[in-house]
Structure 1
Amino acid sequence: MAAVACAGTVAATEQAAFTPPDAATIEQQWVAANKPYDHARSEILAQTEKVAWQGPMQPDWQRLTAYRTPDWYRDAKFGIFIHWGVYSVPAFKGEWYPRHMYEREGENSDRYRHQIATYGPMPKVGYKDLIPLFKAEHFDPDAWAKLFREAGARYVVPVAEHHDGFAMYDSKLSDWTAVKMGPHRDVIGELAKAIRAQGMKLGLSSHRAEHDWFYEYGRQFDSDVNDPRYAALYGPAHPNKGAKGEDGQDVDWTFVSDAYLNDWLARSAEIVQDYHPDLMYFDWWIGQPRFRGALADFAAFYYNQAAARQQGVVLNYKLNDMRPGTGTLNIERGQAAGIREQPWQTETSVSPDSWGYAEGDTYKSPDEIVQLLADVVSKNGNLLLNIGPKADGTIPDEARGILQAVGQWMHANGDAIYGTRPWQRFGEGPTEVAAGTNQDTKTKPYTADDFRFTMKNGQLYAIEMAWPATKHALIHSIGPTMKVTSVTLLATGKPVPFTQQPDGLHLDLPAQPQGVHVYAYRIALASH
């Protein structure tokens, strides 16, 4: 007991001896660390401003409501998200490891203990020391792209930079990139080429807005986050100060400097200038009030430069971060209660617990993924499904198996998904989804009485969420006044006997097809 008390006293003395830097010092160190990139940043910002004011759009939220989601995106329905970076090295509880590895107390302190036990004590060892271990020696972008195409994806969205501040692309604004460190490869550039070679659209995501505060826990004790030599990697690491407003909603009072906003805008624009993505995705913190002006600048720039190339592009945002109609809403790990007038997207991961690869992860079943896809598409949405590759560049077997199973289902049933639009109602059945953000694991299991509907070229598709035990299906929404001429089970390509009765369309089903347990029917209707 005496030894424990002594150790606790020493730790308390060391903590008391450390004085965290003040906000002014933090900002000065960060600005100084980024000074080598001032000229390149200024050039990018000048070009961004020029383009933002020259084209069909302007950086004004009213003018930006002229945006329209391109047809390629509305037709695509299914994309792949990729969370891959230095955080894949520890592979410990996901992509927020670099933040929580500096959190010494609280529910996430297991990351700190894991870091110390595995890699060594702080401040000698920190997140920067994991970069050389991120070798990506088995990374094969062509093989990845082929797998994604076979999975049925029509667009792919790699993370260009996550909250950790390590760019997976070739940047003129940072030395902390995958080109100059770690893999020594332009990961995004290689993926962009491979994805487009497979006929898919390229999306890129930037989570850099959150980098402003991501390493804040490292400010509270003697860690390498406080070493000015690494300020360009760890960022300002300002304290993240949240509070409740008078309406009970979250209000964020975290400090964001003009210098950081300029850097964020320049880095976002650089990605667009160098890789011309068909889709740009931002995480939730761009809704922080200080980003509003810079976000409008970026949106106008992005849309205008795309228009000059006759490229239809998508800008994904979350929550209320953009004015409705100025971009395409993304609901994180969530669903919509009904058909949304504007196209939208949900993103979820093959793992219910993490986005980046983590050892010991659990995985969803292919059935769950396809059921989610059917529900989202019936409500005018797209599904962006995430995987987290390992640090060596291999895709976990569990994730690969899910993609292959989904691909087999899409190959047989894709006619009910691709290019469709919502019907007069999204579906029927007893199961109600848990709508909203971070609700995707709260929906009860679907039953054979649950159907989702889509339309294309005058034909109706009914997707049955499970196979009935009686080999008989009843679709109440297709009443006797709708003249059905034929029903085809897409899984077999064969006709299904049917009768129309006052209570709906009755189907006499064959033996259950093998594979994912979700079944699509093409229902031909007589023209009036």
Structure 2
Amino acid sequence: MKTMRRLLFAALALACTAPVVHAEDTGPYVAETDPAVLRKLERWEDWKFGFMMHWGAYSQWGVVESWSLCSEDVDWCGPPKHNKFTEKYANDYVGYVKAYEKLPTTFNPVKFDPDRWAGIAKDAGMKYVVFTTKHHDGFSMFDTRQTNYRITAANVPFHSNPRANVAKEVFSAFRKQGFGIGAYFSKADWHSQDYWWPRFATPNRYTNYDTRKYPQRWQDFVKFTHAQIGELTNGDYGPIDILWLDAGWVRPARADDNKDITDIGAFRPGPEDIDMPGLAKIARHNQPGLIIVDRAVGGRYENYRTPEQQVPDKPLSYPWETCMTLGDSWSFAPHDHYKSAHKVVHLLADVVAKGGNFLLNVGPDGNGELPPEAVERLHQVGQWMRVNGEAIYASRAIAPYSSGKFRYTRLRDGTVYAIYLPDDNEQQLPAQLKIPGPAPARGAQVRLLGSDAALAWTREGDATIVTIADAVRSTSKGAYAWVFRLPGAAAKSDGKR
């Protein structure tokens, strides 16, 4: 009960602070007050490093997930021009949509092996997974009863496979490996006739009818969405920790709607209130303490925020997670360009030093396999994590957060880690290193993670001067980043942020 009271007081204190608005913010963060959700958020913050996968029938073509169905005038929408499967539709949007919608009839990913996926993610040092149960195109990767546009439908070749209920198999495989479980779910559904009504053209991502003029049609869509959320959370798919909701434009009306539509050339015909209180009630009745991420919407159902493909310049005052692709694409793309392990480790350190989590995405191919180059990158990151993970997991931010090439994290016991991020061509530590910031406790043994040797150190002004023996420099050569443990550099924590 004392723990619950502390969690409640912490949440209320956050709620009473002055509003802070950052990139991708949609207004002041609304702190959660449910003790069960707060406990799960605290555990989620300990995980730090997660694995995301965009996978669906579109993976057969290696095209962007869903967005090629959208006819907005931006470079990621419309039929791809340089793809052997789709180039004939470059100037035939209607033909492309028909072909795209038939993709499930050829989807037979017989090499789908969720146990292998989980093993690869575990080897990388990841602690939770977020899997796409349904993207904007409406194709459900779970055995929903609400539509035949699903992986288990009779016209999908994979439906007879013992692992056809893909989301359930993924969640089970990752749960066996000790992962936290997150269900990505798009609130938009471009296949549903109650969202994109065939009576009208579909000029953009929004509903193609005015929901105020046709309220029953919209209410039918709300009912459909709530029913799918009920299916995912009713226990058939096991315990779920995170409901990661996408399509942030599906939300109640705002005063500035349609004020400036030049960014995507998209006019919103009417509000798209999905009844989040009702949706959340269903989900949390089935999964008490569920973290809900109504991303890019704000309000009480955005328990943490998700800057996409970017790392904030400084720490944020609320729980957050950078979601980012390992390659250039969220879904599988032939010949994708993957970030180096060096780059991923630096991103991870930067995110965690600022108090965030890092959710890294890889798209499996149409056969159900993770691309070999991506697997190799994840393995390399895992090698670094096995040596240095203690500076990442269950850590929290500590000032100065970053200083030059250094990033800092702290543990609840007062241990601080200084993570040194070398340049691309920097292969070896210098013989002496000046670490600005928190001072180790008097008499503490400063060590480089991966080495048992105690390093000689002195304190000069606001910096710790560490002398690194040649043997330590030699054995640690070529690391993506070097981590120094500074015991007692911070006060012990009561477990809060």
The one of 162, 181, 196 equivalent to 2:135 is 162
The one of 363, 381, 385 equivalent to 1:406 is 381
Q: Deviations over 1:143-195 (max 9, x none)?
A: 11111111111111110001111100011101111112242211111111111
The 5-angstrom pairing of residues 51-450 of structure 1 reads 65-66=33-34, 67-68=37-38, 70=40, 71-92=42-63, 94-96=64-66, 98-99=68-69, 111=80, 114=83, 115=85, 117=87, 123=95, 126-180=99-153, 181-184=156-159, 185-207=164-186, 209-212=187-190, 239=202, 255-256=210-211, 257-273=218-234, 274-275=236-237, 276-283=239-246, 284-287=248-251, 289=253, 290-292=271-273, 294-307=275-288, 312-319=289-296, 321-323=297-299, 327-351=303-327, 353-429=328-404, 449-450=405-406
**Normalized per residue, which structure has more helix?**
1
Q: Distance in 2 between matches of 1:263 and 1:103?
A: 26
* Cα pair distance change 1:99/1:73, threshold 3 Å: same
Classify the secondary structure of the residue corresponding to 1:285. coil
Contact persistence 2:406–2:418 (CA under 8 A) = no
Classify the secondary structure of the residue corresponding to 2:305. strand
The one of 436, 443, 453 equivalent to 1:476 is 436
Unpaired runs of 5+ residues, structure 1, are 1-60, 216-229, 243-250, 430-448
Say which one has the larger Rg. 1
1:526 Cα offset (Å) = 7.5
1:497 counterpart residue number: 456
* Cα pair distance change 1:370/1:192, threshold 3 Å: same
Contact persistence 2:322–2:356 (CA under 8 A) = yes
Contact persistence 2:69–2:78 (CA under 8 A) = no
Q: Deviations over 1:304-334 (max 9, x none)?
A: 4323xxxx43222323x13158512111112
Classify the secondary structure of the residue corresponding to 2:313. coil
* Cα pair distance change 1:454/1:255, threshold 3 Å: farther
Contact persistence 2:32–2:38 (CA under 8 A) = no
Q: Deviations over 1:497-521 (max 9, x none)?
A: 2221124101223325255411111
1:30 counterpart residue number: none
The one of 491, 506, 524 equivalent to 2:465 is 506
Q: Distance in 2 between matches of 1:349 and 1:263?
A: 30
Q: Distance in 2 between matches of 1:270 and 1:389?
A: 25
Q: Distance in 1 between matches of 2:73 and 2:354?
A: 44
Unpaired runs of 5+ residues, structure 2, are 1-28, 212-217, 254-270, 492-497
* Cα pair distance change 1:458/1:123, threshold 3 Å: closer
Contact persistence 2:57–2:103 (CA under 8 A) = yes
Counterpart AA for 1:285:
W
> Does 2:443 match 1:460?
no
Contact persistence 2:60–2:366 (CA under 8 A) = yes
TM-score when normalising by structure 2: 0.74
Greater Cα offset, 266-275 or 78-87: 266-275
1:458 Cα offset (Å) = 1.7
1:339 Cα offset (Å) = 2.4
Greater Cα offset, 287-296 or 496-505: 287-296
* Cα pair distance change 1:403/1:106, threshold 3 Å: closer
1:340 Cα offset (Å) = 2.5
1:347 Cα offset (Å) = 0.5
TM-score when normalising by structure 1: 0.70
